[in-house]
Structure 1
Amino acid sequence: MQFTRFFTQAEVEKIHDASLEILENVGLLVHNEKARAIYAKHGCKVDNGSGLVKIPRNVVEECRKSFAPTYRFTARDPEYDVTLPGDRPVVVTGSSAPNIIDPKTGKERRATSTDIANIARLINELPGFDVFSISTLADDAPKGQFSLSRFYPALKNCLKPVRSNTPNMHDLHQVLELGALIAGSEAAYRERPFINHHYCPVVSPLTMDVESTEAVIYLTEQGLPVYGTIVPNAGLTSPMSLLGTLTLGNAEFLALATLIQLIRPGAPMIYAVLSTVADMRTGAYAPGAIETGILQMGHTEMARFYNVPSGGYIGLTNSHSNDAQCGYETGMNTTAALLAGADLFNMGGLLGSLMAFDFAKAVIDNEIALMLKHLKKGIEFSEENLCLDLIKQVGPGGSYMELEHTLLNMRSTAVLPKIANREMRSQWEGAGRPDAHARALQEADRILSQENKAKFSPELDAKIREHFPGLVAGDSVWQGIA
């Protein structure tokens, strides 16, 4: 497949060179002491007083030699393992929203661990999604179990890869203990680490934090899956220039990638971004804007230059409902990223600039995901697919409707949507004129009213609950939408 390109090879190399100049001459503030020590050990200029680290270009270029071309998401069930870039587009839910749109009332409220369990179960059954990045926080989390109250209901109700982050090392160690209990032992978990960790350790512009950086260092040292996302925001934390923001974000990716490779050469990474342009009329955060898609396309070009998988938070929306804005922001940006060659799409289920999860939005995004996967396939060329003999057989004025060939190929040739309406207007009106949101919510209700195929065995669940006293129930409890 040929990918959309913005830059010539010489221009890509110039962006790379400019990024190296930033790291070598401007540097970045590194607040984590361990990270500063790692950089210093390998020849970087470190001022421990100010925290400023300057990374010579030769250090970056040496680390580039060990960049890994693939990244694997491991699942509880090996059937759902996916690898970038071979399985692209890999579609992931948006994550960590504090709120949820209540499916019964339609009102926005704080999300709970039960909501996470229901969402996990829904994502497990929607074929367009490949990875469940835990969509919300859990407002009912007991003290000291903030992350457990998210990962436990997620893993208990989803067989696909589960991805999220933790706010501190205490929570990270708890989550890793949970993984070992589910796997049967720490050794078994290390063999198939089905919890996938993600952080934003670089705070634009050019700053590396303490806690997220600590987690990245630890997980990299342990050989466990982890990657970071770079998030410059033009006009606020990066230049009000698409190219300037791309270059700054690229430098930040290289700074993080260099740290990871200095710790463990060959450690898999994803060039993941959420690069945006602020709406300077108000300063509003605008992840749904088309500039997010354009910047993703540019970062994807740079990722191909480095031969690493790419993607990130793309297909988000600023809309607060499943309206036309929601659809065109998600559709335009994901299509742009796909055509540029992005591999990973954090796109599913969130409204209002990542603030609220909506069940109907997730079902609609599943349909968009299936379309993206079909678009990626394109048109397969073969002598058989030319259908020349069939065309001769049917001839002018004939019909293909009743042919066995049509029956055999109807499901593979076309996406057959459940939400998009293709009925005659009279049929639609007779059904009560339901819009996409209503149809999607009914589909979510249908799925969540069926048997839960992913839940833990009673024995495993008892073992986990004994190890973590006071843990949230973690069960999927669906009350329906009526």
Structure 2
Amino acid sequence: MQFYRFFTDDQVKRIHEASLELLENVGILVHNAQARAIYGQAGCKVDTESGIVKFPAQVVEKARQSFVPTYTFLGQDPAFDKVLPQDGPVVVTGSSAPNIIDPKTGEERRATSIDIANIAYLINELPGFDVFSISTLAEDAPAGQFSLSRFYPALKNCKKPVRSNTPNIKDLEQVLELGALIAGSEEAYLERPFINHHYCPMVSPLTMDINSTDAVIYLVEKGLPVYGTVVPNAGLTSPMSLTGTVTLGNAEFLALSTLIQSIRPGAPMIYAVLSTVADMRTGNYAPGAIETGILQMAHTEMANYYHVPSGGYIGLTNSHVNDAQSGYETGMNTTAALLAGGSLFNMGGLLGSLMAFDFGKAVTDSEIAMNLKQIQRGMEFSEENLCLDLIAKVGPGGSYMSEKHTVKNMRKTAVLPKIANRDMRGRWESEGRTDYQTRAMREADRILSKENPARFSAELDRKIRSHFPNLVAGDAKWYL
């Protein structure tokens, strides 16, 4: 597949060189002492007083030599495993919103562990999604179980790869204990680690935090799957220049990559971003703006230069309802990223600049995802697919509707959406003049009203609940 490009080869190389200049001359403010030590051992210049780490170009280039071209998401069920980029587009839910649009009242409220269980079940059943990145927080989490109250209902109700993060090492260790219980032993889990971890240790501009960096180091040392996202915001935390923002974000990616490869050469990574441009009329965050898609396209060019998988939070919306704005922001930005060669899309289910999950939006995004996957498939060129014999047989003025070829190929040639309406107006009116959100919520209701086939066995659930007293119930419980 040919990819769309903004830059020539020389321009891509110049952005890389400019990123190296930033790392060598300006450096990264690294708050994490362990990371500073790792950088120092790798040959970086560490100022222990200021915390600034400067990167000689040869240190970054050495790290680049151990980049690998693939990244694998494992699920509890191996049938759902996905390898980037060849299985792309790999479609992931948006994650960690504090709120949810209540499916009964339509009002925004704090999300709970029951919501996570319902979302996990829905994502397990929606064909467009490949990975469940835990969509919300859990307001009802017992003390000391903040992360368990998210990962447990997610893993209990979804066999696809599950991904999220933790606020500290204690929570991370609890989540890994949960993984070992599900796998049957710590050894079995380490052999097939089906919990996928993601953090944002880089804080633009050019800063590395403490807790997320701790988690990345911990997981890389153990050989467990983890990757990071860089999030420059033009006008606020990066220059009000698309190319300048790409350059700064690329420097941050290289800094994080150097840390990871210095710990474990050959550790799989994703060049993941959420680069945005602030709406400077208000200073508001604008992840749904078309510039998010343009920036993702440019970062993808850099990822292709480094031969690593690419993607990130793309296809988000600023809209507070699942409406035309939500649809065009998600559709345009994800299509742009796909055509540039992106293979990971955190696009599903969130409204209001990542603040709230909506069930109808998730169903909508699954349908958008199916269309993206169809674009990726493209056309298969072959003599057989030219259909010359069939065209000659039907001849001028004939019909292909009754041909066996049509029946054989109708389901694989075209996407047949379940929610989008293709009926004539009269039929649409006779069936209640429903809008897309109404039909999407009906589909969510249809799925979530059934028994969940992905749920843990009773025996496994008893074992987990015995190990973690006071754990949330973690059961999908639909409201409608």
1:385 aligns with 2:393: no
2:214 matched to which residue of 1? 214
Distance 1:42 1:372 in 2: 41
1:166 matched to which residue of 2? 166
Deviates more, 1:335-344 or 1:43-52: 43-52
Q: Which whole-Å deviations, capped at 9, do the CAs of 1:312-367 have from their partners, x for residues lacking one?
A: 00000000001111011000000000000001000000000000000000000000
2:84 matched to which residue of 1? 84
2:310 matched to which residue of 1? 310
The residue matched to 2:92 in structure 1 has which SS? strand
Distance 1:464 1:49 in 2: 46
Distance 2:42 2:136 in 1: 39
The residue matched to 1:326 in structure 2 has which SS? helix
1:112 aligns with 2:112: yes
2:246 matched to which residue of 1? 246
1:398 matched to which residue of 2? 398
| 1:447-466 map, 5 Å | 447-466=447-466
1:355 matched to which residue of 2? 355
1:17 aligns with 2:37: no
Aligned amino acid, residue 463 of structure 2:
K
1:428 matched to which residue of 2? 428
The residue matched to 1:139 in structure 2 has which SS? coil
2:125 matched to which residue of 1? 125
Distance 1:427 1:57 in 2: 65
The residue matched to 1:248 in structure 2 has which SS? helix
How well do the aligned residues superpose, as a CA RMSD in angstroms?
0.4
Deviation at 1:145, TM superposition (A): 0.1
Aligned amino acid, residue 295 of structure 2:
L
1:470 matched to which residue of 2? 470
TM-score scaled to structure 2, two decimals?
A: 1.00
Deviation at 1:479, TM superposition (A): 2.4
Distance 1:123 1:18 in 2: 41
1:415 matched to which residue of 2? 415
1:341 aligns with 2:341: yes
Q: Which whole-Å deviations, capped at 9, do the CAs of 1:115-148 have from their partners, x for residues lacking one?
A: 0000000000001100000000000000000000
2:235 matched to which residue of 1? 235
Distance 2:434 2:10 in 1: 52
Distance 1:43 1:342 in 2: 32
Deviation at 1:403, TM superposition (A): 1.1
| 1:147-296 map, 5 Å | 147-296=147-296
- Tell whether the 8 Å contact from 2:94 to 2:350 is kept in structure 1 after alignment: yes
1:7 aligns with 2:7: yes
Distance 2:384 2:188 in 1: 46
1:46 matched to which residue of 2? 46
Deviation at 1:42, TM superposition (A): 1.4
Distance 2:397 2:241 in 1: 57
Q: Which whole-Å deviations, capped at 9, do the CAs of 1:449-472 have from their partners, x for residues lacking one?
A: 112010000000000000000000
Aligned amino acid, residue 91 of structure 1:
V
Deviation at 1:282, TM superposition (A): 0.2
The gaps in structure 1 that reach 5 residues or longer are none
Distance 2:131 2:428 in 1: 34
The gaps in structure 2 that reach 5 residues or longer are none
- Tell whether the 8 Å contact from 2:117 to 2:476 is kept in structure 1 after alignment: yes
Distance 2:55 2:461 in 1: 48
- Tell whether the 8 Å contact from 2:103 to 2:479 is kept in structure 1 after alignment: no
The residue matched to 2:272 in structure 1 has which SS? strand
Aligned amino acid, residue 363 of structure 2:
V
Distance 1:393 1:112 in 2: 61
Distance 2:87 2:378 in 1: 15
Distance 2:450 2:396 in 1: 48
Distance 2:422 2:14 in 1: 49
Q: Which whole-Å deviations, capped at 9, do the CAs of 1:364-418 have from their partners, x for residues lacking one?
A: 0000000000011111101111110000111111111111111110000000001
The residue matched to 2:29 in structure 1 has which SS? strand
Aligned amino acid, residue 422 of structure 1:
R
The residue matched to 1:426 in structure 2 has which SS? helix
Distance 1:324 1:299 in 2: 27
Aligned amino acid, residue 193 of structure 1:
P
1:443 matched to which residue of 2? 443
Distance 2:174 2:50 in 1: 33
Q: Which whole-Å deviations, capped at 9, do the CAs of 1:91-118 have from their partners, x for residues lacking one?
A: 0000000000011111100000000000
Distance 2:434 2:170 in 1: 47
The residue matched to 1:138 in structure 2 has which SS? coil
2:369 matched to which residue of 1? 369
Aligned amino acid, residue 418 of structure 2:
K
Aligned amino acid, residue 323 of structure 2:
D
Distance 1:179 1:100 in 2: 26
Aligned amino acid, residue 476 of structure 2:
S
Deviation at 1:302, TM superposition (A): 0.1
| 1:59-98 map, 5 Å | 59-98=59-98
TM-score scaled to structure 1, two decimals?
A: 0.99
1:141 matched to which residue of 2? 141
Distance 1:177 1:430 in 2: 54
Distance 2:410 2:459 in 1: 44
The residue matched to 1:423 in structure 2 has which SS? coil
Aligned residues: 480
1:30 matched to which residue of 2? 30
The residue matched to 1:227 in structure 2 has which SS? strand
Deviation at 1:43, TM superposition (A): 1.0
Distance 1:56 1:167 in 2: 31
- Tell whether the 8 Å contact from 2:40 to 2:46 is kept in structure 1 after alignment: yes
Distance 1:213 1:55 in 2: 18
Distance 1:327 1:193 in 2: 35
Distance 2:384 2:162 in 1: 40
Q: Which whole-Å deviations, capped at 9, do the CAs of 1:9-63 have from their partners, x for residues lacking one?
A: 0000000000000000000100000000000111110011111100110000011
Instruction: Among all aligned residue pairs of Structure 1 and Structure 2, give the percentage whose two residues are the same amino acid.
Output: 78
Deviation at 1:294, TM superposition (A): 0.2
Distance 1:74 1:450 in 2: 26
Distance 2:190 2:387 in 1: 50
Distance 1:479 1:142 in 2: 22
- Tell whether the 8 Å contact from 2:228 to 2:272 is kept in structure 1 after alignment: yes
